[in-house]
Amino acid sequence: MSTVVLPPPGTRALFLVCIRFLLQFHVVGALNGEGAALLAFRRSITEDTEGALSNWNSSDQTPCSWNGITCRGGSVVSVSIPKKKLLGTLPPDLGALSSLRHINLRNNRLQGRLPAALLRGARGLQSLVLYGNSISGPLPPEIGNLSYLQILDVSQNSMNGAVPTGLMECRRLRSIDFSRNNFTGSLPAGFGSSFAQLEKLNLSYNELGGPIPGDIGNLSSLQGTVDLSHNVFSGAIPASLGNLPEKVYIDLTYNNLSGGIPQNGALVNRGPTAFIGNPGLCGPPLKNPCSSGQGEGPSSFPFLPIDNSTPGVQVDSVGKVRTRRSLSTGQVIAIVVGDAAGIGLIALVFLYCYWRATSAVGKDGGGNLDKGKKGRKECFCFRKDESEAHSENVEQLDLIVLDRHVNFDLDELLKASAFVLGKSGIGIVYKVVLEDGLTLAVRRLGEGGSQRFKEFQTEVEAIGKVRHPNIVCLKAYYWSIDEKLLIYDYIPNGSLSTAIHGEYLDFQCLVGWV
């Protein structure tokens, strides 16, 4: 029988330590290439106050169990680490994730440029969401490599330069949001013809200029709001914008647009709030009419000059033939009498107001002079001092909450997905879905600035106090000179008409008093 000779105790301990070290070294070396690329991202993060990357360990064989990482078939398909206050940059190593489909790093503190190597390598990207960071520099032309891209959101950063023509290659895009950056230049040729599936377009708060592309009306899949506001777009509003779906709200405020506003399709019956901040615009729905030099908005008829070949006949700019003829004596007398009667009626109204104001002072025996002054102001529509009016029109920079359970802010509301539910003479109602899934109904009121804040606040807060099982509660509101929003709970039971007539609803939901 053979005997086993064991090493001395001290040698045995040293042997076990060596084996353990070798095994640990083997595990470290087993981390795959995708894990190494993600570790490069971790090294580029200089501050992680919430410990979002705390379990990104090099001792793991794969990164599939790390925070914010999703794998499919052993490959990384998603990197989603939003709202974690990560401070750092985006390394080009992320381009090594060849199976990557989704990147969501919104609302962090990322700086530096968007690396072109990332766009060259991760060609299968379907969504790139980077809004709410401090990323700078231009959008790389390599964006055209992402032929499967559907969602591109780089809003609320510091990106600049022109929109690259390579973007036109991303023909599957459903959402483009470049708002609140420093993009400049004109939109690339063919912008409106390249995105047949585009549902959301927000280019607001940039320095984009030049004419609005004439083919933008080809974006027939758009929903919610097309926001081109707060740029420097110039020239006339293309009539093709009227080809957009009728439920789309077109926001062209605060640009350098000029000329008449087309009155066709989706542009018909738009309130003035969609066009304010463009001093060169004229015609309905604005109050300033177009002069002869400005002309009317573009129409679908070609311009026809005056035809002087036939005496007494003129062809106008929309192709209608009209005959010039002088007024008869009876018509002139009728016009003069009508004008005189109108002037007399206005004089009687002013005399009546003056009599009411002076009689109010007389009744008070001169002791209530302020009341008499107030009466004259109301009668003659005296305007308040400009500084006084300005003090009442103080801009509100955030939502005013009426329900203590509200846990979202104005920024989250404006970034949410919005769909038009209906339109009326006083505004548009949207169905708004926040990022956490909360659904709200938001009424955007027209004619911004016509009501002072204190008046609006008094009325809205009175409505907010109403509590009844059949009345939707007002949760919050927002007021500014150019914008008023009312935020309600969303009730998914259809319209009042549906409830009354019972269409598409179960009979238990019908109103019982009809």
Beta-carbon contacts of 255 under 8 Å, excluding residues fewer than 6 positions away, are: 228, 229, 230, 231, 232, 233, 234, 277, 278
Minimal CA–CA distance to 251: which of 467, 446, 504? 446
Exposure string of 42-65, with b = 16+ CB inside 10 Å and e = fewer, is bebbeebeeebbeebeeebebbbe
Whether 228 is in a domain gets the answer yes
Q: What is the pLDDT of residues 28-51, one digit of tens each?
A: 457 888 999 999 999 999 999 999
Structure tokens at 145: 């490599």
Task: Check pLDDT > 90 for residue 89.
Answer: yes
Domain of residue 161, CATH code: 3.80.10.10
User: CB of 112 within 8 A of CB of 133?
Assistant: no
Q: Which of 248, 282, 316 is the last residue of a domain?
A: 282
Whether 502 is in a domain gets the answer yes
**Within this chain, do residues 51 and 113 fall inside the same structural domain, yes or no?**
yes
Indicate the DSSP class of residue 113: B
Q: Which long-range contacts (CB under 8 A, 24 or more apart) does 8-12 make?
A: none
What span, in angstroms and rounded, lies between the C-alpha atoms of 126 and 149? 4
- Residue 100's Cβ-side half-sphere holds a number of Cα atoms within 13 Å equal to 27
Q: Place 185 in a pLDDT band, splitting at 50, 70 and 90.
A: very high
Whether 358 is in a domain gets the answer yes
Q: What is the 3-state secondary structure (H, E, C) of 317-362?
A: CCCCEEECCCCCHHHHHHHHHHHHHHHHHHHHHHHHHHHHHHHHHH
Exposure string of 191-222, with b = 16+ CB inside 10 Å and e = fewer, is bbebbeebbbbbbbbbebbeebbebbbbbeeb
Domain of residue 450, CATH code: 3.30.200.20
**Within this chain, do residues 370 and 495 fall inside the same structural domain, yes or no?**
no
Helix axes 329-363, 369-380, angle to 10 degrees: 160
Cross-strand pairs, 488: 441, 474
Cross-strand pairs, 87: 47, 109
**Within this chain, do residues 85 and 161 fall inside the same structural domain, yes or no?**
yes
The pLDDT value recorded for residue 342 is 80
Q: What is the pLDDT of residues 103-136, one digit of tens each?
A: 999 999 999 999 999 999 999 999 999 999 999 9
Minimal CA–CA distance to 229: which of 468, 496, 448? 448
Least confident segment among 52-56, 64-68, 506-510: 506-510
Phi, psi of 410, deg, nearest 5: -65, -40
What span, in angstroms and rounded, lies between the C-alpha atoms of 39 and 88? 13
Q: What is the pLDDT of residues 348-374, one digit of tens each?
A: 887 777 777 666 545 444 444 344 444
**Within this chain, do residues 76 and 206 fall inside the same structural domain, yes or no?**
yes
Q: What is the pLDDT of residues 254-310, one digit of tens each?
A: 999 999 999 888 788 777 888 999 999 998 888 888 887 655 554 433 333 434 444
- Split into its structural domains, the chain has a count of 3
The pLDDT value recorded for residue 231 is 97
**Within this chain, do residues 275 and 354 fall inside the same structural domain, yes or no?**
no
Task: Check pLDDT > 70 for residue 240.
Answer: yes
Residue 477: helix, strand or coil by DSSP?
strand
User: CB of 84 within 8 A of CB of 108?
Assistant: yes
Least confident segment among 172-181, 321-330, 473-482: 321-330
Minimal CA–CA distance to 432: which of 476, 396, 466? 476
Q: What is the pLDDT of residues 467-510, one digit of tens each?
A: 777 778 888 888 776 678 888 888 876 666 555 555 444 434 44
Cross-strand pairs, 89: 111
Cross-strand pairs, 15: none
User: CB of 255 within 8 A of CB of 207?
Assistant: no
Mean pLDDT, all residues of the chain: 77
Structure tokens at 193: 């013809």
What span, in angstroms and rounded, lies between the C-alpha atoms of 495 and 148? 38
**Within this chain, do residues 368 and 483 fall inside the same structural domain, yes or no?**
no
Q: Place 451 in a pLDDT band, splitting at 50, 70 and 90.
A: low
Most confident of 7-21, 236-250, 410-424, 450-464: 236-250
* Domain extent at residue 110: 32-282
**Within this chain, do residues 345 and 199 fall inside the same structural domain, yes or no?**
no
Most confident of 76-80, 224-228, 321-325: 76-80
What span, in angstroms and rounded, lies between the C-alpha atoms of 50 and 52? 6
Phi, psi of 48, deg, nearest 5: -135, 75
Whether 321 is in a domain gets the answer no
What span, in angstroms and rounded, lies between the C-alpha atoms of 51 and 49? 6
User: CB of 130 within 8 A of CB of 157?
Assistant: yes
**Within this chain, do residues 247 and 115 fall inside the same structural domain, yes or no?**
yes
Q: Which of 282, 299, 319 is the last residue of a domain?
A: 282
Minimal CA–CA distance to 152: which of 186, 122, 178, 188? 178
Whether 346 is in a domain gets the answer yes
- Residue 164's Cβ-side half-sphere holds a number of Cα atoms within 13 Å equal to 15
Whether 334 is in a domain gets the answer yes
Strands 427-433 and 439-445: antiparallel
**Within this chain, do residues 103 and 67 fall inside the same structural domain, yes or no?**
yes
Whether 301 is in a domain gets the answer no
User: CB of 323 within 8 A of CB of 312?
Assistant: yes
Within 10 angstroms of residue 295's Cβ, the number of other Cβ atoms is 15
User: CB of 135 within 8 A of CB of 159?
Assistant: yes
Q: What is the pLDDT of residues 134-175, one digit of tens each?
A: 999 999 999 999 999 999 999 999 999 999 999 999 999 999
What span, in angstroms and rounded, lies between the C-alpha atoms of 461 and 475? 10
The pLDDT value recorded for residue 66 is 93
**Within this chain, do residues 278 and 167 fall inside the same structural domain, yes or no?**
yes
The pLDDT value recorded for residue 170 is 94
Mean pLDDT of 219-244: 91
The pLDDT value recorded for residue 129 is 95
Terminus-to-terminus CA distance in the chain, angstroms? 104
**Within this chain, do residues 349 and 437 fall inside the same structural domain, yes or no?**
no
Whether 27 is in a domain gets the answer no
**Within this chain, do residues 250 and 168 fall inside the same structural domain, yes or no?**
yes
Q: Can you point out the beta strands (E) in 125-247? A: 127-129, 136-137, 151-153, 158-162, 175-177, 182-185, 200-202, 207-211, 225-227, 232-235
